[in-house]
A and B are shown apart, each in its own frame.
Chain A
Amino acid sequence: EAGVAQSPRYKIIEKRQSVAFWCNPISGHATLYWYQQILGQGPKLLIQFQNNGVVDDSQLPKDRFSAERLKGVDSTLKIQPAKLEDSAVYLCASSLVGTSGREQFFGPGTRLTVL
């Protein structure tokens, strides 16, 4: 079974530029999550999708971050414009459903460096 795919693996941009990350979840997984992992910290949830609808985006900085999951499969996370403090690893995860106790499967992440 293929795992969660993410691209690119690494990205370096200058502040005020825009960037986009792509995630393809495990086939059949209805729930998709985007996490931000800053160096030295645990992952923090940015947004959760159930199929193509947003379940929770309370911690997404909506003035610069946006995400979509068209057709309820792939997802894209965008940052525009980027700030220095956005340097982090962006992890995508998926699960069969979004209920508590379900295992989330993580992709390898995209490491973003903002100069």
Chain B
Amino acid sequence: AQSVTQLGSHVSVSEGALVLLRCNYSSSVPPYLFWYVQYPNQGLQLLLKYTSAATLVKGINGFEAEFKKSETSFHLTKPSAHMSDAAEYFCAVSERRMNYGGSQGNLIFGKGTKLSVKP
């Protein structure tokens, strides 16, 4: 069964510092991988996704993530944190299927990492 592990339930950085949020997945084949962000009292918004093209994926708001098959990781980074980045971040995996049918497309989420940004 597929699973996602996010290391660190809470990460705190200073404004302007590097943001690094860790995500490791478990899957027998390379899956589709996603990062979503959730602001307080809002739904989830897609930051970026990996679907087997380039291993370095660029997303919105200056975030990027690198797919590393050997490490089964998909860590999220941003060179310089901004106060508006304070939110909860979820890594998710979706099983890879070649044909539609059944339950593919389901997202399995990690427990989330809450990012705090100090002025």
Q: Which residues of A contact B (CB under 8 A)?
A: 4, 31, 33, 40-45, 48, 55-56, 58, 91, 93, 95, 97-109
Contacts and interface: CB of A to CB of B under 8 A. Distances in A.
Contacts of B46: 103-105
Given A42-B92, A42-B111, A101 B43 contact: no
A4 B102 CA distance: 24
Given A48-B103, A56-B102, A104-B107, A4 B112 contact: no
Contacts of B102: 55-56
Nearest to B50: A101
Contacts of B109: 42-44
Interface of B: 4, 9, 31-32, 36, 41-46, 49, 51, 90, 92, 94-97, 100, 102-112
The secondary structure that dominates the B interface is loop
Given A42-B110, A108-B41, A97 B103 contact: no
A45 B43 contact: no
B103 A55 contact: yes
A100 B96 contact: yes
A93 B45 CA distance: 11
A105 B107 CA distance: 12
B5 to A, nearest CB: 11
Contacts of A108: 41-43
